[in-house]
Amino acid sequence: MKLKPDFLSVKEVPILSWSSPKALTITPPLVSVFFLIIGLTLFGLGEALLVAAGLGVSPWTVLAQGITQITGWSLGLATFITSCVVLLCWIPLRQIPGIGTLLNVLIIALVLEFSVPFLPTFDNLVLKLGAVIIGVLVTGFGGGLYLIANLGPGPRDGLMTGLQKVTGLPIAAVRSGLELTAIAAGWVLGGSVGFGTVLFALGIGPSVAASMYGFKRLFSKYKRTN
């Protein structure tokens, strides 16, 4: 009897039929772009559910809040600077950007902007927790889908895949470790941590890994054609 699910051991982003041969390309396969957009849209919807649940902001927003406490910057500027620093960390990790890197920022922001106002207000704790859990699952599902498209990760996902290659640790552990580190740093600097924030941090790594594992099991028999 296995005590540890197989998906928790996933250590790389699988290459499937909709994966682009190259992350950095000006002529990406349309199927790769399609799954990239679908994945990022789902990613944004998952984060929107976290916002609507009202049990805390995302881990990296906690870090941005903390930075605003010591610098006086706006939350938007702190978030932008944090993303830039994370992108600089890609250099020693040898991560390659692509159109997915840019679309990550654009699509997720647009989905958050237009979906949050239409989501219901959750007026009891059970519904709030349910929204957080569903949000984590949807975010992980979308994250796995768009990363498999192989058109470039977003800033934090690139940090995740880069650190995974350096450390050899499973993706689930690396991703949740990054989120928990962001929470800890943000909290020390004065950011606000909610129960939903911690739940998201603990769940997003396994959720992304489970998504990749599931897609690989379902679609690995379909070979990519270049």
What is the identity of the amino acid at 72? G
Band of the pLDDT at 224, cuts 50, 70, 90? Answer: low
Q: What angle do CA 45, 200, 195 make, to 5 degrees?
A: 115
pLDDT reading at 200 higher than 90 = yes
Say what the pLDDT of residue 222 is.
59
For the chain, percent of residues with pLDDT exceeding 90: 86
Mean per-residue pLDDT for 47-74?
93
pTM (2 decimals)?
0.92
Closest CA to 160 of 187, 133, 185, 181: 181
**Distance between CA 182 and CA 45 in Å, rounded?**
21
Domain ranges of the chain: 28-219
